[in-house]
Amino acid sequence: MKLKKKWILNTVTVSVTVLAIVVGGNRVLQMATAPPGSFESEEVENWRRFSSAGHRAGSSEATVVIVEFLDFTCPYCQEAALGLELLRNRYSADVAVVYRHLPSDRPNSLPAAVAAECATRFGRFMQFHDALMARPDAIAAKTWSEWAEQAGIPDTIAFVECMAETTGSPTIQRDTLAARELGVQATPTFLINNRMFEGYPGFDRLHDVVREAIRKSAGTDQSAERSRSDGRRQLPWGFESVWRISSLTHESLSAYTFSARNVDADAAGNVYLLDQTAQTVFVISPDGELLDSLGRTGGGPGEFGNAVALDVTTDSILAVLDYSGRLVRWRVPDGQLLDPVATKEIFNFGGLVRTLSDGLIATEMEASSGNRYAYHVTRSTSAGTERVFIGRMSPRNLFAPCGRSMSYPKLFEPRISWDYNNGMLAVAEDSLYVVHIFKEGTPPVRIERDVLPRPVTASMARRELGGRPIWAQITDQCGVTVHQILDGLGYSRYLQAVADVRVSPSGEIWALRAGTHDEPREIDVFSGTGEHLGTLPPDSPFPAAFAPPDRIVEIGHDELGPTLTAYRLSR
């Protein structure tokens, strides 16, 4: 059933006032969602006139323009916000979005629209839009100056003064008049080129409509494009387990050892495992035997203050990144200690590190206000430090029932996934199925697969989180439900499309699709030029490291706990 709201413009008392219609004493809600399979449209002849005004995000050359009439307090507008962002990013050359106001009589609706216009004076409309749409139910929980600060507005005093003087914003009045001319009766309403759609049908249906509009504007054949985009071939590859170790079967290993940034292999097939608890690197033979250990806590030669990641280069040098700003190095497998190398400071290393001849590539974690942060891929050399790839801020919120801070589930936040091998850097975007390949001396390659983002459901989140002891303990002791925890943390609406990437020694790109721990694992393999070679058999192991000549090393779990397993790959 569609829920509609009539909009009445009153230009006598103030420039814009939105009145509620009362039917039988009950207010009709000003939001709309289209039932699955519907999303009916009507044609608008002079549609370009309505897309020429408003707040535009996207290329001025885009052939498909989506005009959204929105209310910042509308729940379905929040649902649509991430979908529109995904479409803008997925079709950056073809799609632009124009945002236009249609406030209602809901509390904070008109003030939110006015605040967004004041943010525009500082060039921060989209940042303000994204901040409010992340939690429209919590608008009243902050002052407008606090929302302005979250959106990065530098002068919050001038912002508040702007709100006081622009109660009747002419921009809001213009947008409301345009909505009335079109006969818009609910938010969100979309004008997609010359077709008008009421309600948000979910991302899948909206994506279909936009994709069809792109095809029409480009004159492409739908069936041919679908064949190119969705074709899948299963690779006839097999994996045979060679050895497996765990922290419970080897008492010297900590359970916190097992992380992709802590594992690599040399040319002889020896595996190196950094135990961050013991601040020691363990050396494992090709047969799975613990051969040796390197390093210890301290500040002297071969010692770490705080070792955070390791890498084994193609010329057999083991480099361990110490948080103090140096690489502690050995030549392997003989274990000869080399002189350390100073590294330029990168704020808060948060993931992989790959060493270069004159520096390193690492994951940088940028902190922001409100317990939020973003991951970037950063190159640091003697020439300076630069961000190779920019991530986006996590939507997470601070949630501390009983005073105990909850960690955010990695599956439900944007994270940068990347790998570097033999001069090739592969970086996966944080929402779409896009992998960028950078190789010196050649143009960048962009891999795209027509794989739809997966909406995060409460049941999916519960399955992913329910088995973790810390969550179970807090729900028992603090009297909160898993659902309350998920709401409190503000988990993302869509799964990251590619959970991780690896570059093999031969230059293949392995891309792991995102999913919960209890779902079948899907891995795509691409050539270094971006050709899709095929998909591995379901639940194939995903490498934390490649161990020549024919092995991969995987981090996993069994009934005893975390594991490190070596597989022989047969093609």
* CATH number reported for the structural domain that contains residue 85 in this entry: 3.40.30.10
Domain hosting residue 565, numbered range = 238-570
Q: DSSP letter at 256? A: G
Same domain, 205 and 246: no
pTM of this structure: 0.67
| pLDDT tens-digit series, residues 490-532 | 666 677 889 899 999 999 999 999 887 778 889 999 999 999 9
Same domain, 46 and 88: yes
Q: Does residue 177 belong to any structural domain of this protein?
A: yes
Beta strands in 30-139 (DSSP E): 41-43, 55-57, 64-70, 95-101
The confidence score (pLDDT) of residue 264 equals 95
The confidence score (pLDDT) of residue 36 equals 41
The pLDDT of residue 326 is above 60: yes
Please, where are the H alpha helices in 219-274?
Answer: 222-230
Classify burial at 58, counting beta carbons within 10 Å of its beta carbon; exposed 0-12, middle 13-18, buried 19 or more. buried
d(CA 264, CA 128): 43
The confidence score (pLDDT) of residue 406 equals 60
The confidence score (pLDDT) of residue 228 equals 35
E strand or H helix that includes residue 318: strand 317-322
The confidence score (pLDDT) of residue 26 equals 30
Cβ contacts of 20 within 8 Å, gap of 6 or more: 5, 27, 28, 104, 105
The confidence score (pLDDT) of residue 101 equals 93
Task: Let me know: does 567 contact 536? Beta carbons within 8 Å.
Answer: no
Give 432 or 482, the one with higher predicted confidence: 432
Q: Does residue 71 belong to any structural domain of this protein?
A: yes
Tell me how long the chain is. Answer: 571
Q: Does residue 565 belong to any structural domain of this protein?
A: yes
Buried b (16+ CB within 10 A) or exposed e, 317-338: bbbbbbeeebbbbbebbeeeee
The confidence score (pLDDT) of residue 37 equals 43
The confidence score (pLDDT) of residue 168 equals 55
The confidence score (pLDDT) of residue 527 equals 94
The confidence score (pLDDT) of residue 568 equals 96
Same domain, 176 and 289: no
- Choosing from 230, 256, 275, the residue where a domain stops is 230
Model confidence at 58, pLDDT cuts 50, 70, 90, reads confident
| pLDDT tens-digit series, residues 81-117 | 888 888 888 788 889 999 999 998 888 899 999 999 9
The confidence score (pLDDT) of residue 17 equals 44
Average pLDDT for 469-474: 57
E strand or H helix that includes residue 552: strand 551-558
Quote the number of domains for the chain: 2
Task: Let me know: does 261 contact 353? Beta carbons within 8 Å.
Answer: yes
The confidence score (pLDDT) of residue 421 equals 93
- Choosing from 176, 211, 230, the residue where a domain stops is 230
Give 418 or 474, the one with higher predicted confidence: 418
Same domain, 53 and 103: yes
Q: What are the φ/ψ torsions at residue 523 (nearest 5 degrees)?
A: -130, 125
Q: Does residue 62 belong to any structural domain of this protein?
A: yes
- Choosing from 171, 206, 230, the residue where a domain stops is 230
The pLDDT of residue 545 is above 80: yes
Same domain, 337 and 439: yes
Same domain, 154 and 257: no
Same domain, 131 and 224: yes
d(CA 148, CA 128): 7
Average pLDDT for 326-351: 85
Q: Does residue 210 belong to any structural domain of this protein?
A: yes
SS (H, E, C) 419-475: EEECCEEEEECCCCCEEEEEECCCCCEEEECCCCCCECCHHHHHHHHHCCHHHHHHH
Cβ contacts of 367 within 8 Å, gap of 6 or more: 347, 348, 373
Report the mean per-residue pLDDT for the chain.
80
Model confidence at 412, pLDDT cuts 50, 70, 90, reads low
Please, where are the H alpha helices in 151-186?
Answer: 156-165, 170-182
Cβ contacts of 378 within 8 Å, gap of 6 or more: 346, 361, 362, 363, 364, 385, 386, 387, 388
The confidence score (pLDDT) of residue 3 equals 31
Cα end-to-end span (Å), the chain: 54
Nearest partner of 433 among 501, 366, 365, 377, judged by Cα: 501
Sheet of 95-101: strands edge to edge? 41-43, 195-198, 189-192, 64-70, 95-101, 55-57
Model confidence at 35, pLDDT cuts 50, 70, 90, reads very low
Q: Does residue 54 belong to any structural domain of this protein?
A: yes
What CATH code is carried by the domain that includes residue 254?
2.120.10
Same domain, 208 and 248: no
The pLDDT of residue 467 is above 60: no
The pLDDT of residue 232 is above 50: yes
Q: Does residue 558 belong to any structural domain of this protein?
A: yes
d(CA 184, CA 67): 12
Highest mean pLDDT (candidates 215-219, 247-251, 366-370, 426-430): 426-430
Model confidence at 21, pLDDT cuts 50, 70, 90, reads very low
Average pLDDT for 336-345: 88
Model confidence at 369, pLDDT cuts 50, 70, 90, reads low
| pLDDT tens-digit series, residues 271-293 | 999 988 889 999 999 999 989 99
d(CA 240, CA 229): 32
Q: Does residue 16 belong to any structural domain of this protein?
A: no
E strand or H helix that includes residue 86: helix 75-90
Same domain, 382 and 520: yes
Same domain, 77 and 54: yes
Question: Residues 168, 171, 172, 173: what is their CA dihedral angle, to the nearest 10 degrees?
Answer: 70
Same domain, 501 and 564: yes
Same domain, 136 and 60: yes
